C-alpha cells in the first residue's frame, strides 16, 4: 500500500537558518504530493503541492520538488522565522484514492 516516511523530529533551528525536512514515499501509479502545516492550536493547512514529476510547489518561502527517481518530496526554506514553528506533514494521494496518506509529522521549533 501507499506510505509516506518523514524525517523524525523534533527539529530546532535558530531564526534565519536553512530548513530541510525529508520526505520519501511509496505509491502505486503517479501520486500527487503535498505538504500540510499545523500551527499550534489549529487544524492542518495545505502549504504546497506538486502533481507530477519535476514539478516544484512553493508557498510562503517554502519549496519542494517532486523527484520521481528518488521518490522524494523534501521541504526546504532558505531562512526560517519564529512564526514557522509548527508541525509539518508530508502526504500523497494516488490512483483513484480520494483520501490522503500522511507521514507522521515533523515538529519544527524556530528560536529567536
Can you count the helices (H) and strands (E) in the chain? Answer: 0, 12
Nearest residue to 106 (alpha-carbon basis) of 8, 3, 1: 8
Question: 45 or 81, CB closer to other proteins?
Answer: 45
The CA-CA-CA angle for residues 51, 5, 44, to 5°, reads: 65
CB of 33 to other proteins, least distance (A): 9
Q: In this complex, which beta carbon is closest to other proteins, that of residue 6 or of residue 84?
A: 6
Q: How far is the CB of 46 from other proteins (least distance, A)?
A: 5
By CB under 8 A, name the binding residues for other proteins: 4, 6, 32, 34, 36, 41-46, 49, 51, 89, 91-93, 98-105
Q: Tell me how far apart the alpha carbons of residues 92 and 56 are, in angstroms, rounded to a whole number.
A: 15
Name residue, grid cell 487544524.
43
d(CA 15, CA 49): 25
Residue (64 or 91) nearer to other proteins, CB: 91
Comparing CB distances to other proteins, the nearer of 32 and 71 is: 32
Question: 40 pairs with which residues across the strands?
Answer: none
In the bound complex, what is the minimum distance in angstroms from residue 1's beta carbon to other proteins?
11
Q: How far is the CB of 6 from other proteins (least distance, A)?
A: 8
Amino acid at each position: 500500500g501507499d506510505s509516506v516516511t518523514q524525517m523524525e523530529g523534533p527539529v530546532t533551528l535558530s531564526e534565519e537558518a536553512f530548513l530541510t525536512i525529508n520526505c520519501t514515499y511509496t505509491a502505486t501509479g503517479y501520486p500527487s504530493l503535498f505538504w500540510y502545516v499545523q500551527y499550534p492550536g489549529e487544524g492542518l493547512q495545505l502549504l504546497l503541492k506538486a502533481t507530477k514529476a519535476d514539478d516544484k510547489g512553493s508557498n510562503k518561502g517554502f519549496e519542494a520538488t517532486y523527484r520521481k527517481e528518488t521518490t522524494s518530496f523534501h521541504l526546504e526554506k532558505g531562512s526560517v522565522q519564529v512564526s514557522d514553528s509548527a508541525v509539518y506533514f508530508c502526504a500523497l494521494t494516488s490512483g483513484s484514492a480520494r483520501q490522503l496518506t500522511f507521514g507522521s509529522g515533523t515538529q519544527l521549533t524556530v528560536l529567536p
